[in-house]
Amino acid sequence: MPHILAQGLTIEFPLYHMGARSLKKRLLAHSPLRLREDEANRVVVSALRDLSFRVEPGERLALIGHNGAGKTTLLRTLAGVYEPVGGRLEVEGLIGSLIDPAAGMDVHSTGRENIVLRGLFRGLSEARSEAMADEVAEFSGLNEFIDVPVRSYSAGMQVRLSFAMATVMEPEVLLMDEWFLAGDAAFMAKAREKLAKLVADADILVLATHDMDIVREWCTRVIRLEAGRIVADGPVEQVLEAA
């Protein structure tokens, strides 16, 4: 059964080029909650601190909080991009990630090759995977660019390709950063129906956003993060009204 379980989840990033002793001391004194010195005398940023939560099938979870609160870090950790330094994380189910445009793609391969690889990975036949690539080329508006290496795509083209690939993958756990909903108005107008289906078909949605209208439209539950900690977790109206 698809689910997410986090227990005491902690993520830290070491800050390099922090040689000057006085700068280090000043930084540590200034942000005692967010920065600490580790065993190797490096300054580390505590991006996520001791998060515990469980997400069940059917839940549509919004991650909200100010800039730097930890929303994107949590999404990336759920996607397997970052390894926790502490605690436990279980993500069960086929993950679809709309976080970083080219994440999970081989940028030296063409859009078509990336799609076919994904299809094969999902257990589809080569013929079906090829057919999917044609569908994506058409729907995404990439057309002949589908046969060009992804590294030469513009940011907008990468978004189109990742979105189209996600719809093809039919993920059980859909991880999404809000700017996927915002950018490229012409494309999103066309993609909205597909996006609604993608969300409806996924067992779990985790969406990081600053936009409370989007939260109300797409989500059933909210986790509010503040400086890397969970400060509220509950049904949408309950958490938003408490703010």
**Chain residues in the site for ligand ATP (CB under 6 A):** 13, 45, 47, 65, 67-73
For ligand ATP, the closer CB: 5 or 44 = 44
Least separation, in Å, of the C-beta of 126 and ligand ATP?
Answer: 37
What is the closest distance, in whole angstroms, from the C-beta atom of residue 82 to ligand ATP in the complex? Answer: 8
How far apart, in whole angstroms, are the C-alpha atoms of residue 190 and residue 193?
A: 7
Nearer to ligand ATP among residue 81 and residue 94 (C-beta): 81
User: For residues 31 and 109, which CB has a smaller minimum distance to ligand ATP in the complex?
Assistant: 31
Positive/negative CA dihedral, 195, 104, 90, 210: negative
Which residues 6+ apart lie within 8 Å of 229 measured at CB? Answer: 49, 50, 51
230-236: long-range contacts (C-beta < 8 A, 24 or more apart)? Answer: 230/51, 230/52, 230/53, 233/53, 236/62
The nearer residue to ligand ATP, 20 or 33, going by C-beta atoms, is 33
* Nearest distance, CB of residue 216 and ligand ATP, angstroms: 19
What dihedral do alpha carbons 107, 199, 132, 3 form, nearest 10°?
70
Q: Nearest distance from residue 210's CB to ligand ATP, in Å?
A: 6
Q: Pick between residue 177 and residue 203 the one whose CB is nearest to ligand ATP.
A: 177
Give the CA-trace dihedral at 232, 198, 175, 71, to 10 degrees. Answer: -40
Give least dist CB 236 to ligand ATP, A. 18
Asked whether the CA dihedral 177, 178, 183, 189 is positive or negative, the reply is: positive
